[in-house]
Amino acid sequence: MGATIERRDVVRLGAVEVPYAFKRVPRRRHVHILVNEEGAIEVRAPWRFSLAKAREVLRENARWVVRTLDGARERLAQRPPLITGTRLPLLDASLRLEVRPRAQMDLFAGARKGQGRVERRGTALRVSTASLGEGELRGLIEHWYRREAATHLAARVEHYSPRLGVRPSRVTIRGQRSRWGSCSGKGTVSLNWRLMMVPGALADYVVVHELCHLRHMNHSPRFWAMVGGAIPDYRDRRRRLNALQGRLPL
């Protein structure tokens, strides 16, 4: 039993029918309900957990699920449209989005050949694609942010690692929906590419937080003392970061 088993299902919660993904995970001990930023629901459960039990758990937590789902949809509706003129954050800067038809693609080089190209020109982020659909634009822009994250966040890891006296075995860039970063028992530090959309000081806090887990795989007083040694105002940075959860444009 190595792989996660996923099924799609629909459950009625009060007056509405709600679609969700049901995942049975080997070695998982508890059931967990997740509602991501796009309003998608996922139930992660132990391997022998049944679909019927998953529906029961959702019904038992119907009030929380519907309230959380409504909140996610409200924040999603408040996201700015990906059109020319929209401002996108990049650490402590702000970029003006410029969307161009593919006919102008030869004006600049960028990423994801064949699907579109993205390039930063000063304070402008230029996207050229044959399709102006929200999905493709979002994918192209996300890909660009991921590349920026791979460079910037890796550099911040290199900056803080010697100061903390730790060294990750590997650094990966991911798109976690419910966390800014993570650290595995094997020493892999994973960082969310969306950290490129928050102020640099807050991104640094996450880098330090995960690096400190290489020494302390918990949130004990020793762990927080280590974090505070590198970032004395970590409590304020953590509060500001939590306030941005689910409120970024991508």
Q: pLDDT-derived band of residue 215, with 50, 70 and 90 as boundaries?
A: very high
Instruction: Give the span between the Cα atoms of 158 and 89, in whole angstroms.
Output: 24
Q: What is the pLDDT of residue 82?
A: 86
Which residue would you say has higher pLDDT here, 105 or 189? 189
Q: Is the pLDDT of residue 127 over 70?
A: yes
Q: What is the pLDDT of residue 1?
A: 47
Helix (H, G, I), strand (E, B) or coil at 202: helix
**Which one, of 92, 85, 83, 193, lies nearest residue 145 by Cα?**
193
Q: pLDDT-derived band of residue 135, with 50, 70 and 90 as boundaries?
A: confident
Over residues 69-116, the pLDDT tens digits come to 888 888 777 778 888 999 999 999 999 999 987 654 444 444 444 468
HSE of 118, CA atoms in CB hemisphere, 13 A: 20
> What are the domain boundaries of the chain?
5-77, 87-144, 145-244
CATH architecture of 145-244: 2-Layer Sandwich (3.30)
Q: What is the pLDDT of residue 107?
A: 47
Structure tokens at 237: 């940075």
Q: Is the pLDDT of residue 2 over 90?
A: no
What is the residue-averaged pLDDT of the chain?
88
Helix (H, G, I), strand (E, B) or coil at 90: strand
Q: Which of 124-138, 148-162, 222-236 has the lowest mean pLDDT?
A: 124-138
Helix and strand element counts for the chain (H, E): 6, 11
